[in-house]
Amino acid sequence: MQNLISTPKKYSELPTAEKMAVIKAWLEEHKAVDVVEIDLAGQGAFTDALLVVSATSVRHAQSLADGVSALCHEQNFEYLRMEGYNTGQWILVDCNDIVVNIFQQSVRDLYQLENLWGAAAAALNKEPRA
């Protein structure tokens, strides 16, 4: 008879808020700029949370995206896909319950993703941008 209790889980069962804290801390440690958390839990959205950050260059954005992907692998967080890596203007890293958006500042200003979600998204730690 198989022992089901010791069967390892496919992915970490860490709550979204704790995963967010791990990813956010890593991004801040690696010089991501203007890191913003957006809580979408209970909004019927495609994910539970967004992280929106700016990078200082295309190479920096790609490095941040590579790092988030590696972090997901190391921490056993679910990682679905990455989009926009080659151009490095807006890289989306889909970690299922958290989607990380890495922008060049000019592209972030153009799309204003934080404003797109409006009051319903309730930015958790957003300070007014200058």
Q: What angle do CA 23, 29, 33 make, to 5 degrees?
A: 85
pLDDT at 130 over 90: no
In angstroms, what CA-CA distances link 59 with 5, 10, 30, 65, 117? 44, 32, 13, 10, 28
Instruction: Identify which has the larger pLDDT, 3 or 39.
Output: 39
pLDDT at 19 over 90: yes
Q: What is the pLDDT of residues 79-122, one digit of tens each?
A: 999 999 999 999 999 999 999 999 999 999 999 988 887 554 54
Q: Angle between the 16-29 and 58-75 helix axes, to the nearest 10 degrees?
A: 140
pLDDT at 33 over 50: yes
Give the dihedral sign, CA 54/56/58/62.
Answer: negative
Average pLDDT across the chain, whole number? 85
Q: Can you tell me the distance from the alpha carbon of 130 to that of 112, in angstroms, rounded to the nearest whole number?
A: 14
pLDDT at 48 over 80: yes
pLDDT at 20 over 50: yes
Residue type at 114?
A: E
Tell the CATH topology of 16-121: Beta Polymerase; domain 2 (3.30.460)
- Do 75 and 98 form a contact (C-beta atoms < 8 A)? no
